[in-house]
């Protein structure tokens, strides 16, 4: 894994989820960026150019799919994992169009998330 692949943006409005994921990823050697809503995620993605975004669907303001639509206008390359308790077939159809790499249900375990991250690089 090169340095660029070590930068991950976590987008979630639940502080407990952010803490669990960020601490785990830091322990695994990743550089972690955090956004608590879609607009912050768009701005951070534009500025920091992460390799991967771990994106919640239900957030205040704009939801995860709309956030990703806006990000895709300027960034076609960033990898995305959806992490949500509300993944539906409609979401997956939108996700296929928007280039989502993986879907994980909440609640999740850290090892499943880590496997999903590693599978993106393959």
pLDDT tens by residue, the chain, 122 residues: 666 569 999 999 999 999 999 999 999 999 999 999 999 999 999 999 999 999 999 999 999 999 999 999 999 999 999 999 888 888 888 878 899 999 999 888 889 999 999 998 66
Q: Are 78 and 50 in contact (CB under 8 A)?
A: yes
- DSSP H or E run through 34: strand 31-35
Domain contains 122: no
Can the peptide bond before residue 107 be classed as cis, meaning omega within 30 degrees of 0? yes
Domain contains 26: yes
Pairwise CA distance, residues 1 & 57, whole Å: 28
Q: What are the residues whose beta carbons fall under 8 Å from the beta carbon of 3, sequence distance 6 or more?
A: none
Domain of 86 in residue numbering reads as 3-117
Domain count, the chain: 1
Whether the model clears a pTM of 0.85, i.e. scores above it, the answer is yes
């Amino acid at each position: 894994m090169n340095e660029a692949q070590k930068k991950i943006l976590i987008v979630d409005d639940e502080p407990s989820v952010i803490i669990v994921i960020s601490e785990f990823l830091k322990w695994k050697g990743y550089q972690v960026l955090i956004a608590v809503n879609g607009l912050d995620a768009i701005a951070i993605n534009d500025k920091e150019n992460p390799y991967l975004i771990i994106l919640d669907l239900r957030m205040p303001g704009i939801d995860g799919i709309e956030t990703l639509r806006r990000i895709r206008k300027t960034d076609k390359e960033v990898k995305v994992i959806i992490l949500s308790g509300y993944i539906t077939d409609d979401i997956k159809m939108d996700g296929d169009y928007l280039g989502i790499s993986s879907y994980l249900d909440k609640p999740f375990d850290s090892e499943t998330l880590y496997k999903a991250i590693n599978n993106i690089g393959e």
